[in-house]
Chains A and B, each alone.
Chain A
Amino acid sequence: MNEQTKKILNKYLHADRDSLIPILQEIQESEGWLSESSLTEVGRHLNMPVSKVYGVATFYNQFRFQPQGKFHIQVCRGTACHVLGSATVLQEIQKALKIKVGETTKDGLFSLEIVACIGTCGLAPVININGNFHAGVTTESLSEIIESYKEKINI
């Protein structure tokens, strides 16, 4: 078992299934995603069938089942961003990177997540990549943004 996961599970020694979600959150916090092996370990620890652990985990948007990319893209789908076209932004990102929400590109560079509202409605539609906010995103600016991150790797 992964050392980090072991540490987290040790904090929940006599826990039952009530603790499932906090445990999953802590594991994702420390590893960035939920691997099959960690879900299996959690099931064993809580004496819960892994199918149930998987069922609960996949219910929530917050959990990822692929490791995060080097650049993690959060697309705001809050009301203001929606009005100003965030659906198209999301679609364009999926097309450009050939991944769906919750997935990571094969080269491990980009991963994609939807967030409800970042709280910067004045910048709508907004995306956040590794803590950098990109305001008023359009189809044109999007390809430039993605290219700029790809270049960071080449340097």
Chain B
Amino acid sequence: MSITINVNGNKIEAKAGETVLNVLSDHGIKVPTLCHLKNMFPTGSCRMCVVEHKNTDKLITSCSAIVEEGMEILTHSPRVTEARKVIVELLLSNHPDDCLYCVRNGNCELQGLSQELCVTERRIQGRRNKLPIDTSSVSILRDPEKCILCGRCVRVCEEIMGVACIDISKRGSQSIVSTAFDKGLNTSSCVNCGQCIMVCPTGALTEQSHFAEIKEALSDPNKKVVIQYAPAISVSVAEEFGLEAGKDIAGIMNAALRKIGFDYVFDTSFAADLTIMEESSELIKRITENKNLPLITSCCPAWVKYAEEFVPELIPNISSCKSPQQMAGAIIKSYFADKVHIKKEDIYSVSIMPCTAKKFEGQREEMTNKGISDVDAVLTTREFVKFVKLFGINMHEMQGETADSPLGIRTSAGKLFGASGGVAEAAIRTAYHTLTGSELVKFKIPEIRGLKGQKETQLQIGDLKIGVAVVNGLANAKKLLDEIKAGRKDIHFIEIMACPGGCVGGGGQPINLDEQAVKDRIQSLYRIDDTESIKVSHKNPDVIILYNEFLGKPLGKKSHELLHTEYQKRDVII
């Protein structure tokens, strides 16, 4: 049903049941918010979105107020803007003054609002909470002094991720966002996904930076510094450099990274192809032996940690394959090192990931070989952008270059890893070939593409009927896994990505991510798949050479040693 409301003297059509804020934003009227999260239940706690309700002469929170027939709203009256200004002044009253040194300087929502509302002096002095920064996690830093208690992180952690390792504790001026018993994040059930960073309006949540170590390695003449970048990266950064949003700039990135001083540049998508070779063989093996089904992917380190904590009974179902980041790392420090005659101790291996959990994965004990880490340092997409700017690289002037051989060629199947559903699609393509000896007629599996939280399809491959499920957002994963635990048998293969939309929506991506940006990036990945000729991992010429020269066959002895691992139950406070 349609109703009419009056906004700033103009009549506006609105759907009954909608919130005032949604109606306003649909009509291009911008009302500032701090605690609001699109598509989630409003809390109305920050009061930034207040508008004047003429009928009652009250200020109401537009995020939680439902439109009513004949409603008269003023969105920017003097009373409203003054109220908003006071809210910002109160938030700033106990906020540190160190914007210049803050990682979010320039893209902080609080800073933006104080500018917008013309806050020019500290009118109200509040007592700072002087709480120490929580540096305990290898992925995420928490600075409680910069926290404005909007509660977005708490809600994302609980509602999207189903982890709920943080909540607001204590009360009044003592309130803080804390873990259970206010302990370090490292002892909590935090899965390091970084979605809390993505929604934090200030610098209270950031990633642990590996900047300094990488700069040091780059200036060390005895180190060969190699870098790899995840499938999602090259379609996620163009807009940060003023290029067309969603554009694939892999070639430009290769050139820029060489210019910065990295000795070798690899595309992690190569290792994604390698993962598919191993994982599709593993899938076929488990189905033919009818053992530990459904097989669940292990590419997402946030999901793996979630499983270790919340569903340890399903650990045997998780693929023993390392993630593409770790496979690339392992191959770089073995096959590649031998090939270019460098000692693996002299290689410093860096990766660029759309993810904060990859920082955690990189330092896991399971991801080492005789005491040497597969990957030494991990940059998020955000850090990579800063790195390029720090080295004064002009991306507009770069000529595209190819990645380094022998891990330089990738297929479009490997590239699909960046989007939710991509791993499953790539694995099915190769499994089909392995089982039937021929290629799929149509490579696209539209049922498992797109942004939906849970997608499923049943596929006929030769004599086998294979059920495939794809979930993104760990809260969605929990629902599916509950069904599996309750005895559901028609699913043989599950792809789980912690972040909404998959890695393109990862917790290491540029801040201020909206749904459209995620869609653009996914489209870009699918365009690559549509236009390129090698669409299946098993036809990657470099992968074929790698097996012929070094690994032997998928799931072979060498693979087992370098590319596979296992996980264990993890005791944390949940």
Question: Could you list which residues of chain A lie within 8 angstroms of chain B, going by C-beta atoms?
Answer: 36, 39-40, 43, 49-55, 58-60
Contacts and interface: CB of A to CB of B under 8 A. Distances in A.
Interface in B531-574: 573-574
Given A49-B164, A51-B180, A53-B180, A40 B170 contact: no
Contacts of A58: 169-171
B164 A52 contact: yes
Nearest to B573: A50
Interface of B: 158, 163-171, 178-182, 188-189, 573-574
A51 B180 CA distance: 4
A55 B158 contact: no
A39 B573 CA distance: 10
Nearest to B189: A49
A51 B187 CA distance: 12
B119 to A, nearest CB: 31
A54 B171 contact: no
Nearest to A48: B164
15 contacts: A36-B181, A40-B573, A43-B180, A49-B164, A49-B165, A49-B167, A50-B573, A51-B164, A51-B165, A51-B178, A51-B179, A51-B573, A53-B180, A54-B169, A55-B169
Contact of A50 (B158, B168, B170, B180): B180
Interface residue SS majority, chain A: helix
B106 to A, nearest CB: 32
A39 B182 CA distance: 13
Contacts of B166: 51
A50 B181 CA distance: 9
Contacts of B573: 40, 50-51
A55 B181 contact: no
B574 A59 contact: no
What 8 A-B pairs are tightest by C-beta distance, nearest first?
Answer: A55-B167, A49-B164, A50-B180, A51-B167, A58-B169, A51-B180, A55-B169, A54-B180
A83 B170 CA distance: 27
Contacts of A40: 180, 573
Contacts of A55: 167-169, 178
A58 B175 CA distance: 9
A83 B142 CA distance: 41
Contacts of B165: 49, 51
Given A54-B180, A54-B181, A49 B574 contact: yes
A51 B188 contact: yes
A54 to B, nearest CB: 5
Contacts of A60: 171
Contacts of B167: 49, 51-52, 54-55
Nearest to B163: A49
Contacts of B168: 55
A52 B167 CA distance: 6
A52 B151 CA distance: 13
Nearest to B171: A59
A79 to B, nearest CB: 19
A54 B178 contact: yes
A49 B168 CA distance: 13
B313 to A, nearest CB: 16
B310 to A, nearest CB: 10
Nearest to A50: B180
A36 B182 CA distance: 11
B180 A59 contact: no
A33 B171 CA distance: 19
A50 B574 contact: yes
Contacts of B171: 58-60
A54 B164 CA distance: 12
